[in-house]
Amino acid sequence: MTEGVFARGTGHEQVVYCHDEASGLKAIIGIYSTALGPALGGTRFHPYATEADALDDVLALSKGMAYKNALAGLDLGGGKAVIIGDPKTLKSEALLRAFGRFVQSLGGRYITACDVGTYVQDMDIVARESRFVTGRSPEDGGAGDSSVLTAFGVYQGMRASAEHLWGSPELAGKRVGVAGVGKVGHILVGHLVAAGAQVTITDVWEPAIERTRSVYPDVRVVSDVDALLRTELDVFAPCALGGALNDETVALLSAQVVCGAANNQLAHPGIDKQLADRGILYAPDYLVNAGGVIQVDDERHGFDFDRAKRKTTAIFDTTKAVFKLAETEGVPPATAADRLAERRMTEIGRLRSIMAG
């Protein structure tokens, strides 16, 4: 029997199941924390094998968003939504609008945005039923695709990692392997190529590889992630789905730095220690991939790309601060990042107890 939400003891404030039989909508919204503000996080549309898999994902992702938003300095809590099904066949106007009705019913406790399997045009449709939607198209008053600043933030985290490890933020000549060249990975490759890095890529979807090769013909392509891990690398950038760092992949890694866009990269809590024991510097995923949420938060205040990019540039300094705390306290960077995020959630979240009138 699948363990229920309460039995899991994840600490979530609210988990909402959403079902509209006519459109085929089956969705779960997870709200981990509203200590710092409304819970913001994207909607993932994915063909989960089981409902339990979908629940596992939304619980992990929504908690990750709470930490990401806190560490990014945003006045936002953490939430996430998953829609169960293949977006290529199930996605429709009716389904997206039905989902929007459920988002609206939460009265602003949860604010949605794009994620894997959803795009700005989808958010435009969801927004026809809810005010609590970001990541909309510029034509609809939004900021557009947040992948641009997500990739830029990962690039800043990679530069900070290089400075910490090698004494310079420059990536020229560094061998970087990018696993996943979808929305974010493709843009990240552009930053790396412009910086003079030697880039190797892989992706399970051949059209994604073809697109990246057509724009950046000098990148090298390998068949799969295992082949990429066996390649001599300085930096490994996981940019697809979560769980990329497990016991097997860590053992194979030749890279000295792991810094990528994927969420929930650590398959289990002990992985960060394994990386540290092997002398591999890990830039925590939710720290370096926060550029997207910085962008969609800026959209809520009247989007200004230059302002959002300046905020995203700060990921460089925050990453260095995490590495410094990790060294000072003798813990892996993932633990140091968690401590900084938890400190802010506690210190700023408690201010709500002061009545402001």
- Of the candidates 287, 285, 288, 292, the residue with the CA atom closest to the CA atom of residue 150: 292
Strand boundaries in 246-305, DSSP class E: 257-258, 281-282
Helices 333-349 and 315-329 cross at an angle (nearest 10°) of 110
Query: Catalytic annotation on 80?
Result: yes
Maximum pairwise Cα distance, the chain: 61
Burial class of residue 90 in the structure, from the number of CB atoms within 10 Å of its CB (0-12 exposed, 13-18 middle, 19+ buried):
middle
Q: Is 288 annotated as a binding residue?
A: no
258 marked ligand binding residue:
no
- 180 annotated among ligand-binding-site residues: yes
User: Which secondary-structure segment (H or E) carries 93?
Assistant: helix 93-105
- 68, 80, 91, 311: the active-site residue: 80
The DSSP secondary-structure symbol of 127 reads: T
Q: Are 130 and 108 in contact (CB under 8 A)?
A: no
DSSP single-letter state for residue 4: P
Query: Is residue 100 marked as binding?
Result: no
Catalytic residue set? 80
Binding-site residue set for NAD(+): 180-185
